Structure 1
Amino acid sequence: MLVAFCTLFLAGWNGGSTGAMIPYIERNYNISYARVSVLFVSTFIGYVTAAAATGPLVRRVGFGNTLLIAMVVELIGNVINCSQRKSFNFMCFGFFVVGSAFATQLGLFNSYFARLNKPLLWTGCLHGIYGLGAFASPQVATAMLIRGVPYNVFYTTNVGMNVPLFGLVWLAFGKLKALPINPAEASVHGSVLRETLKSKAVWTLAVFLMLYVGAEESIGGWIVSYLIEVRHGDPQGASWVASGMYLGLAVGRIVLPPVNMLLGERNSVFIYVALAIMLQCLAWRVPTFNSTAICTALIGLTISTFYSATIAMGGKLIPKSMHADAFSLISAVGQSGSAFWPLIVGVMSTKTGIWVVEPTVLALLGAQGACWWLVPRVDRRVQ
């Protein structure tokens, strides 16, 4: 579990820094909101690639070897991102490479954690560590950028973490061929991937996760630009707001799972969605920097356990023999929201202004509540 925590910390470190760096990337390449949003599209293509490739790759080379391949691919992407700032297209390719690696890692770790006792608790910790990485990186990136350090230099920190992590993953998972299943769980007929694609539970959870991750990353990706232009804040203060949202995510994912186990995954999500919608309305309609900052951090706290609730629910609804494919698909489709919705915000912002961030997030929160209503009720783990 420690190795998985470290890997997700790096993923959060990489993902959380993007919002703080977007204004500097725009300035470096002299591009618009819509053009810089191609970074999110590149990441989305990486997620789709991972969704299609992870399950077959696990069956061909094994669980551990697939993780090791993903670590090498991630290292290549980070080297690309830190090595140049002349070609925006090449930077987009780097985001594609890192996105495909991250989605692969996430899908495999989700399937691993879904099999543990108290999956809601441990998956919450896993994604809480992601939040800690995303909390720290905007501050480090901003501290470097305001001192005139080129944005691409930040990615050398990713490379520095990537190399020892490869060794840790090799030690922890290198010999693991497949996650264990019992004979009763091996009775899925036909192609595992085909059965996964036909599963209503898989697609409902995947769409919910896409909406959730889209809301989270639309805030994380654009809140700095929004606060600078709409609330007239300074870059360092705005980056603290982004960090505050990710800190709320990290704290909630570690602290709230015991509460959620008492309430039940289903009920807790409905309660938190309602709270998040109220906070988002305040962040949008009260036109001050401080109110937006406080509400944004609290939104991070309220939505923090949605990811772990999804994985825990999937562990109960989806046969274990389908977990590698199902969780890869759920994770990849879910993470595609981190590319698709920030892209939509970027395109709309180019046409109408960056103010669209807040109402878009509000709409995504409402859609999450509606989608969660469609998730089947379950009282026991499906075999």
Structure 2
Amino acid sequence: MRRRGWIQFAALCLAIYVAGWNDGTLGPLLPRLQEVYHVGYAVVSLIFVTNFVGFFLGASTYLYVTDRFGYGSVTSFILAIGNSLQASGAPFPVFVIAHIFAGYGESFLDAGSNAFLASLSENTSTKMGIMHAIYGVGAMCAPLVSTQFARLPRWSFVYLVHIGLVTLNAISQMVTFRFRRQDDILAEIGQPPPQKTKESEAGVNKYKQVFGLRAVHLMAFFIFTYVGVEVTIGGWIVTYVINERHGGANSGYISSGFWGGLTLGRVALLWFNKKIGEWRVIFIYVVLVLGLELVVWLVDSLLPSAICVAFVGFFLGPIYPIVMNHAGTIIQEELISGSIGWISSFGGAGAAAFPFITGAIASGTGIGSLQPLLISMMGLMLVIWAFVPRNRVQMK
């Protein structure tokens, strides 16, 4: 049972690595996309809009699809469709539409991995930190590759790497989970099914129960904002550095520095999270990244900006797995999977919405608007988290 548990964990880590790779690819490509397609900030940001549509559809259907078809690789093939359209170097409208498929498929990678891991009864906090560090590894490695492809005539071939990773993930999930329900998979490693809520015994639909929890909506909104900050930095920081700090062709590596810091923070700060308390420590991390973003905004120098961006990633990194752990702690066992599926998928919507807003604003004011927008979003995170309950909640 222990060996099977580690095999399942490895499959989850591969899925989240693919999600990280997808999120980390686009940043270094944005300047090239503007050059190839002859579009401005607002038009190129339509990519984030269609990605939002895909993530929203994924968030809305996650509970139904997993209950109906079981846990596995069905949505990996939807992601592969999007990656295939992207790799073809198709006209811009087709390239934009491809992100609906990519967003839908990735939402299930995020939601499925987080929901499954949060449902475990042992070592959840440590495993969540490690798994999300693997996400950071994927997001860190992707800019190293996409920066190189951005210089090539066939820049779109970077998405062939995505297709290979998605295929590997599909095989891994088919072999490991075999399209079974999550409760059956957990039973395989000796974990009993979750205790049913009183509402379930009375015949209340799971959707209604999940959406009746105020804490779920608060954490979904928090993650919506957090992931928006994370992906906005990873996506637009390269353009910001090139235009505002006069960076060169290698500026794409700053994005790797951000994702590398995020990866390291999710592992290196595990002890600090436990010492301070996971609910309280989020306030410390958000205040620290606020200060670092002020330095990036106000100090007109490339090297300090690059260093601060890496440290922003370092302190932002632990926040996402902490929220997932907290959700697993305060939500009733039977509703953990559906609740975290909704929260994490909604976070993917933030990954699409905020980068689009950034591009739309930048089209009128310039990319220098990135920093004040990020700082306001970080302030919003502090306010939202203050309302998230510390202890287990009941349906209201």
Q: What secondary structure, in the 3-state scheme, does the structure 2 residue paired with 1:185 have? A: coil
Cα distance, 1:186 vs structure 2: 4.2
**Partner residue in 1 for 2:271:** 258
Cα distance, 1:254 vs structure 2: 1.9
Q: What secondary structure, in the 3-state scheme, does the structure 2 residue paired with 1:233 have? A: coil
**Residue 162 of structure 2 is aligned to residue 154 of structure 1:** no
Q: What secondary structure, in the 3-state scheme, does the structure 2 residue paired with 1:287 have? A: coil
Distance 1:315 1:141 in 2: 35
**Partner residue in 1 for 2:176:** 172
Cα distance, 1:144 vs structure 2: 2.4
**Residue 115 of structure 2 is aligned to residue 104 of structure 1:** no
Q: Is the 8 A contact 1:224 1:235 kept in 2?
A: no
Between 173-182 and 209-218, the greater mean CA deviation after superposition: 173-182
**Residue 79 of structure 2 is aligned to residue 74 of structure 1:** yes
Between 174-183 and 264-273, the greater mean CA deviation after superposition: 174-183
Counterpart AA for 2:196 = E
Give 1:121's match in structure 2, choosing from 126, 129, 142: 126
Deviations 1:201-222 (A, max 9, x none): 1001011111111111111110
TM-score normalised to structure 1 length: 0.94
Give 2:216's match in structure 1, choosing from 191, 202, 222: 202
**Partner residue in 1 for 2:199:** 188
Percent identity, aligned pairs only, is 28
Cα distance, 1:160 vs structure 2: 1.5
Give 1:34's match in structure 2, choosing from 37, 42, 58: 42
Cα distance, 1:228 vs structure 2: 0.5
**Residue 320 of structure 2 is aligned to residue 307 of structure 1:** yes
TM-score normalised to structure 2 length: 0.91
Q: What secondary structure, in the 3-state scheme, does the structure 1 residue paired with 2:317 have? A: coil
**Partner residue in 1 for 2:363:** 350
**Partner residue in 2 for 1:13:** 21
Counterpart AA for 2:84 = V
Distance 2:393 2:269 in 1: 22
Between 173-182 and 7-16, the greater mean CA deviation after superposition: 173-182
Cα distance, 1:8 vs structure 2: 1.4
Cα distance, 1:183 vs structure 2: 6.3
Cα distance, 1:223 vs structure 2: 0.5
Cα distance, 1:235 vs structure 2: 2.5
Counterpart AA for 2:10 = L
Distance 1:113 1:296 in 2: 29
The 1:125–1:381 alpha-carbon spacing in structure 2 relative to 1, beyond 3 Å, is farther
Q: May I ask how many residue pairs the two structures share in their alignment? A: 376
Cα distance, 1:46 vs structure 2: 0.7
Distance 1:90 1:55 in 2: 29
Cα distance, 1:281 vs structure 2: 0.8
Between 75-84 and 336-345, the greater mean CA deviation after superposition: 75-84
Q: Is the 8 A contact 2:147 2:253 kept in 1?
A: no
Q: Is the 8 A contact 2:130 2:266 kept in 1?
A: yes
Cα distance, 1:37 vs structure 2: 0.6
Cα distance, 1:77 vs structure 2: 1.4
Distance 2:194 2:31 in 1: 54
**Partner residue in 2 for 1:287:** 300
Distance 1:256 1:188 in 2: 38
Give 2:249's match in structure 1, choosing from 223, 235, 241: 235
Q: Is the 8 A contact 1:134 1:246 kept in 2?
A: yes
**Partner residue in 2 for 1:224:** 238
Q: Is the 8 A contact 1:214 1:338 kept in 2?
A: yes
Counterpart AA for 2:149 = M
Distance 1:184 1:156 in 2: 44
Cα distance, 1:256 vs structure 2: 1.4
Q: Give ranges in structure 2 of 5+ residues lacking alignment.
A: 1-8, 187-191
Deviations 1:75-101 (A, max 9, x none): 11111111233x211111211101111
Cα distance, 1:320 vs structure 2: 2.1
Q: Is the 8 A contact 1:316 1:382 kept in 2?
A: no
Q: What secondary structure, in the 3-state scheme, does the structure 1 residue paired with 2:73 have? A: helix
Deviations 1:53-73 (A, max 9, x none): 1101122122x2xx3111111
Q: CA RMSD in A?
A: 1.6
**Equivalent residues in 2 for 1:240-251, closer than 5 Å:** 240-251=253-264
Distance 1:243 1:18 in 2: 12
